[in-house]
Amino acid sequence: MPGDGAKVGVLALQGPARLHASILADLGASPVAVRTPADLAAVDALVIPGGESTTMSLLLDSSGVGDAVRERLAGGLPVLGTCAGMILCASEVLDGRPDQRGLGAIDLSVRRNAFGRQRESFETDLDVEGLHGGPFPAVFIRAPVAERAGDGVEVLAQLDEGAVVCAAGPVMVCAFHPELGGDLRLHSLFLERM
């Protein structure tokens, strides 16, 4: 299986960490909840789940995990960021809070709540480059999009509003929630790219 032997951290400061952990375990990886720099030091890769990016940003600072992730990113840490995780990974947040400090893991300009409020949240079948076996069931909850992708960033899926799956080296981000659709392929692709 793609995850064999890998210790994959799931950032557990806020958001549905347990859903990602259960998918990673199904793919043969060993998921580890990450709340401290010591937790992070013990993992080979990191999943940053959805949730509220403003909340997670504050908790990344206060826990010291944010700086520890920045250090590991310089050394090529594989990261999968979903929804709020995509916002945190981006080099630029177009309408973020002034004190919000991103991780700069991938050269993207991301807009928060790009589709509107919860009323406008939706699910759809999405074609993702590199995923075989048909479209992916994508659940978008108050989701962001990338309005600009830098040089060297691959855009793997796109909607009218902007890019919704992007990758650069070992870093991969998506605007929707691959943990909610009951489909393991996106996590599997991330593990294969590690």
Partner 1 sequence: MPEPHQLAPSADRPLTGTFRVKRGLAEMLEGGVIMDVVDAEQAKVAENAGAVAVMALERVPADIRRDGGVARMSDPALIEGIKAAVTIPVMAKARIGHFAEAQVLEALGVDFVDESEVLTPADEAHHIDKWAFTVPFVCGATNLGEALRRISEGAALIRSKGEAGTGNIVEAVRHLRSITGDIRRLTVADPAELYDWAKRLSAPVGVVQEIAGTGKLPVPLFCAGGIATPADASLVMQLGASSVFVGSGIFKSADPPRTARAIVEATTHSTDPDLVAKVSRGVGGAMPGLEVGTLDTRLAERGW
Q: Which of 3, 50, 81, 162 binds partner 1 (CB under 8 A)?
A: 50
Which of 67/123 has CB closer to partner 1?
123
Smallest CA-to-CA distance from 37 within 62, 66, 73, 65 is with: 65
Backbone angles phi, psi at 44, to 5 degrees: -95, -15
Taking the complex as a whole, the smallest distance from the CB of residue 63 to partner 1 amounts, in Å, to 8
Contacts to partner 1 from residues 64-93, by CB under 8 A: 83-84
Report residue 33 as tokens. 């909840």
Q: Which of 12, 29, 128, 186 binds partner 1 (CB under 8 A)?
A: 12
Contacts to partner 1 from residues 157-186, by CB under 8 A: 177, 180-181
Q: Which of 7, 104, 130, 141 binds partner 1 (CB under 8 A)?
A: 141
The kind and range of the H/E element at 40 are helix 37-41
Write down the residue that tokens 């909610």 correspond to.
Answer: 180
HSE, side-chain direction, 13 A CA sphere, residue 168: 15
Count the residues of the shown chain that bind partner 1, applying the rule CB under 8 A: 40
